[in-house]
């Protein structure tokens, strides 16, 4: 923790402005103030950063490397100030200088280097790892363009490039001296030495320079500063006499590797570029780990005692053959030895059971792009098949092998090559064991384990909801900041009318703030007296934003028929991006926007329902919405949402969860008790039962439920002007084509659950008590605990 007085800060800040821009405060713009502040904060952390690295090296500490294609960091300025322990000092100092921290913060771009839950989890984890003083670092790609910027044009999603690096990035450090070379294409031939070794020779390969950009990851009020290393693809130092045009062509091709994040978290997109990206950051990362390891002067035999590599979903699964390649070809270890080390080093997390998202690469593609890696995968597969055939039947071996049907199955590679395989919530892990990965669970039972996801309470409460944090501290002190389960102390106030009314007031302030934002940005008037009902997450059919929409239409119809109906006023808040290629999801966005257009300006319903679909949902918007939420919609089809993490953020901020028994919702219910959560719908067991007997007939629900019938008809009968095209597609997907995610099946139960919410909310004392119990129960979902479990059970740090 930094010892910094306000006076010293003000001097430092003014000096930095002068040094950087030769300006004083009056002359400077917020952009310059931000850059000065950012540089200052970085300089404040640099001593701890180098000392942390020094300490790890000297003590030969085991280090974990979290390999992830995505890190959805969010803005770093305030989070770094908080973790350095100087947030209040800096804020007050700036105020003395006539400046406002929150205004300066707005200058920082929100780096969207991720799609959704998986990327944000990686960001929460690295924050927690540093906070828990664990030796763990992130490894990923420095995408020039983050996830697209979403705009709505006539209700349709339009994607614009997100050039987050345009004005530079104060947090990163380019480290050219630590660059490594990554090889693609070409041919490999093996030379046999006299001693019998096979030495691979690469011919005509394309070499790419991987340049690391390091960002300090500052622990909360401690002296640990870990590293997030993101790799950028560049042309290697130009060889003599390269033709200029050929050079430019080559440069374009190479730089495209770290150009843009794939905007897809659902559909596997078989593009060569994605495979290149995966190998690029894997090879660069593993090479740099070994280079660091060699500095300790230990033999490779001890690698697994000093290094853990974590494979975040299958995207970095090539870590397995890449480490094998380096151990075999460079370190000259024999196969069995190398394999043993590799399996002990690697661990893998599965984040989805959606089969579309399970990566498979065509053999042709992978053998052409990565010839040596493909040879190694073939050998891993050959040995697996050889051994498995002595133990299991042919079908089992066929189902579990890595290369099958002309494809390389990345999940199989990750599982066979890792000593640990985990799911991200109890239910998810159970489904992996019993269904999705049942064969592998049978083969490697001891490798499987659960690690329920978590979130950092620093970003998702202390920073984003300061009024609530302060109230909590007033009530129970600040131990919860470092020991989040201490939030349970709040339960003592469950019957304290004053505390409950304070909770109400804080929610009210946050809602006013959000309402103001919505008015400014969207021109929509919403009342903070209404119930704020929030669904924020990627747009995907399985998450069932559609179920939410159908209920909104139902309510709208009731109010049209009988404007006097006593429905509690509601604001339905959505935030969601759809993958650009995911037509159905985009149609749902358009439908929600069309219904919003109709409902929001219909005088006849007296403003009782409002729909706010915020553009460009991401970390920064989440920070605004979550503190203002009354209800948290977690309504995925049971079994489909691996965990969910917005559910945790919302409960921590006092929202009541309206949910199916899916993902971590199950564990949230365990924590708060069934009376403090509203659960509805099919269970995972029900869903699997339906699959088994094929007995779900969606059309029956359309035919037999008059309410649902009428609601669905509005999609196609002109009740919602402008909805015709998308309305027809969506209608057909539900009624004609089988309703893959049981929306119609769960409709009635959902309506009842929503009615229950309506009733509960009217009793504010009771409601605030539920909110309080939710906040009090949210501590266990801190990522501080999750990463400690990874560290102990998996990485052995």
Contact footprint for ligand 26W (CB under 6 A): 115-118, 121, 264-265, 268, 313, 351-352, 357, 359, 424, 453, 641-645, 663
Which of 38, 116 has the CB closer to ligand 26W?
116
Which of 121, 735 has the CB closer to ligand 26W?
121
Which of 73, 357 has the CB closer to ligand 26W?
357
What does residue 133 show for φ and ψ, rounded to 5 degrees? 55, 35
- Do the Cβ atoms of 402 and 413 come closer than 8 Å? yes
Look-up: residue for tokens 């989040």? Answer: 484
Which of 274, 332 has the CB closer to ligand 26W?
274
**Cα separation of 413 and 401, whole Å?**
8
Distances (CA, A) of 38 to 42, 77, 215, 419, 535: 6, 7, 12, 41, 33
What is the number of residues in the chain? 797
Render 741-758 in DSSP notation, one character per residue.
Answer: T-HHHHHHHHHHHHHHHH
For 60-192, strand residue ranges (E) read 63-67, 136-141, 149-153, 156-160, 173-174, 180-184, 187-192
CB of 793 to ligand 26W, least distance (A): 17
Compute the C-alpha angle 210/349/740, nearest 5°.
110
- Do the Cβ atoms of 305 and 342 come closer than 8 Å? no
192 burial class (0-12, 13-18, 19+ CB within 10 angstroms)?
exposed
Which residues carry out catalysis?
A: 351, 537-538, 543, 645, 649
CB of 237 to ligand 26W, least distance (A): 34
Q: Across-strand partners of 420?
A: 347
CB of 638 to ligand 26W, least distance (A): 13
CB of 598 to ligand 26W, least distance (A): 31
**Cα separation of 695 and 490, whole Å?**
47
Which of 553, 648 has the CB closer to ligand 26W?
648
**Cα separation of 721 and 595, whole Å?**
9
716 burial class (0-12, 13-18, 19+ CB within 10 angstroms)?
middle
What does residue 295 show for φ and ψ, rounded to 5 degrees? -60, -25
Q: In 3-state terms, what secondary structure has residue 145?
A: strand
Which of 288, 548 has the CB closer to ligand 26W?
548
Residue 260 makes CB contacts below 8 A (sequence gap 6+) with 143, 144, 145
Which of 224, 453 has the CB closer to ligand 26W?
453
CB of 642 to ligand 26W, least distance (A): 4
Give the CA-trace dihedral at 188, 192, 198, 202, to 10 degrees: -20
- Do the Cβ atoms of 187 and 371 come closer than 8 Å? yes
Q: Residue 563 gets which letter from DSSP?
A: T
CB of 265 to ligand 26W, least distance (A): 4
CB of 730 to ligand 26W, least distance (A): 22
CB of 206 to ligand 26W, least distance (A): 24
For ligand 26W, the nearest residue by Cβ is: 117
CB of 114 to ligand 26W, least distance (A): 8
Which of 370, 410 has the CB closer to ligand 26W?
410
Which of 90, 121 has the CB closer to ligand 26W?
121
**Cα separation of 63 and 288, whole Å?**
13
- Token representation of residue 197: 């070794």
């Amino acid at each position: 923790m930094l010892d910094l007085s306000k006076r010293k800060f003000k001097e430092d800040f003014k000096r930095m402005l002068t040094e950087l821009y030769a300006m004083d405060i009056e002359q400077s713009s917020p952009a310059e103030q931000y850059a000065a502040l950012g540089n200052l904060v970085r300089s404040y952390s640099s001593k701890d950063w180098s000392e942390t690295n020094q300490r790890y090296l000297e003590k030969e500490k085991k280090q974990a490397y979290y390999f992830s294609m995505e890190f959805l960091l969010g803005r770093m300025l305030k989070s770094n100030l908080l973790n350095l322990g100087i947030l209040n000092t800096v804020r007050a100092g700036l105020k003395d200088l006539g400046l406002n921290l929150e205004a300066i913060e707005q200058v920082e771009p929100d780096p969207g280097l991720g799609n959704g839950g998986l990327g944000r989890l990686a960001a929460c984890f690295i924050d927690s790892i540093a906070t828990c003083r664990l030796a763990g670092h992130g490894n990923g790609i420095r995408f020039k363009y983050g996830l697209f910027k979403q705009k709505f044009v006539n209700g349709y999603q339009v994607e614009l490039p997100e050039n987050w690096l345009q004005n530079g990035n104060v947090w990163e450090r380019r480290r050219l001296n630590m660059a490594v070379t990554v090889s693609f294409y070409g041919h490999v031939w093996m030379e046999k030495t006299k001693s019998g070794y096979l030495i691979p020779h690469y011919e005509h390969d394309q070499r790419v320079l991987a340049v690391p950009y390091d960002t300090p990851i500052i622990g909360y009020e401690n002296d640990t500063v870990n590293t997030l290393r993101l790799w950028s693809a560049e042309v290697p130092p130009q060889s003599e006499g390269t033709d200029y045009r050929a050079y430019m062509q080559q440069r374009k091709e190479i730089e495209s590797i770290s150009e843009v994040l794939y905007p897809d978290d659902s559909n596997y997109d078989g593009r060569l570029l994605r495979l290149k990206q995966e190998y690029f950051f894997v090879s660069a990362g593993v090479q740099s780990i070994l280079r660091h390891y060699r500095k300790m002067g230990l033999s490779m035999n001890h690698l697994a005692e000093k290094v853990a590599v974590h494979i975040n979903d299958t995207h970095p699964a090539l870590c397995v053959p890449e480490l094998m390649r380096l151990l075999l070809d460079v370190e000259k270890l024999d196969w069995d030895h190398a394999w043993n080390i590799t399996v002990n080093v690697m661990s893998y997390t599965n984040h989805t059971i959606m089969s579309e998202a399970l990566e498979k690469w065509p053999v042709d593609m992978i053998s052409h792009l990565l010839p040596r890696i493909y040879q190694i995968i073939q050998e891993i597969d050959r040995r697996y098949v050889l051994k498995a055939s002595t133990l299991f039947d042919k079908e089992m071996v066929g189902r579990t092998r890595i290369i099958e049907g002309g494809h390389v199955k990345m999940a199989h590679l990750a599982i066979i090559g890792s000593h640990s395989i985990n799911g991200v919530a109890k239910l998810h892990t159970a489904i992996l064991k019993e269904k999705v990965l049942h064969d592998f669970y049978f083969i490697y039972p001891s490798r499987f384990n659960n690690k329920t996801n978590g979130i950092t309470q620093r970003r998702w409460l202390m920073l984003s909801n300061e009024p609530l944090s302060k109230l909590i501290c007033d009530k129970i002190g600040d131990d919860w900041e470092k020991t989040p389960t201490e939030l349970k102390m709040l339960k003592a106030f469950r019957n304290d009318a004053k505390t409950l009314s304070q909770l109400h007031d804080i929610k009210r302030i946050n809602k006013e703030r959000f309402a103001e934002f919505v008015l400014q940005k969207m021109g929509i008037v919403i009342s903070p007296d209404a119930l704020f009902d929030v669904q924020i997450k990627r747009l995907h059919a399985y998450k069932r934003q559609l179920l939410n929409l159908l209920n909104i239409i139902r309510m709208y119809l009731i109010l049209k028929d009988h404007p006097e109906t006593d429905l509690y006023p509601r604001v339905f808040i959505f935030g969601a991006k759809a993958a650009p290629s995911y037509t159905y999801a985009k149609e749902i966005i358009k439908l929600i926007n069309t219904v919003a257009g109709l409902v929001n300006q219909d005088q006849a319903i007296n403003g009782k329902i409002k729909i706010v679909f915020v553009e460009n949902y991401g970390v920064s918007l989440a920070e605004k919405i979550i503190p203002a939420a009354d209800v948290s919609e977690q309504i995925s089809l049971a079994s489909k949402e691996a965990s969910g993490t917005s559910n945790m953020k919302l409960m921590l901020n006092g929202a009541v969860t309206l949910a199916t028994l899916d993902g971590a919702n199950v564990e949230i219910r365990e924590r708060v008790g069934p009376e403090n959560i509203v659960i509805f719908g099919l269970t995972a067991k029900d869903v699997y039962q339906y699959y088994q007997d094929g007995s779900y007939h969606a059309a029956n629900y359309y035919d037999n439920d008059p309410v649902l019938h009428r609601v669905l008809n509005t999609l196609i009968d002109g009740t919602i002007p402008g909805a015709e095209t998308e309305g027809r597609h969506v209608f057909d997907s539900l009624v004609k084509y089988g309703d893959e995610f049981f929306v119609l099946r769960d409709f009635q139960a959902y309506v009842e659950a929503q009615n229950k919410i309506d009733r509960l909310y009217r009793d504010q004392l009771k409601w605030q008590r539920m909110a309080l119990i939710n906040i009090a129960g949210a501590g266990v979902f801190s990522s501080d605990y999750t990463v400690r479990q990874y560290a102990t059970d998996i990485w052995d740090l």
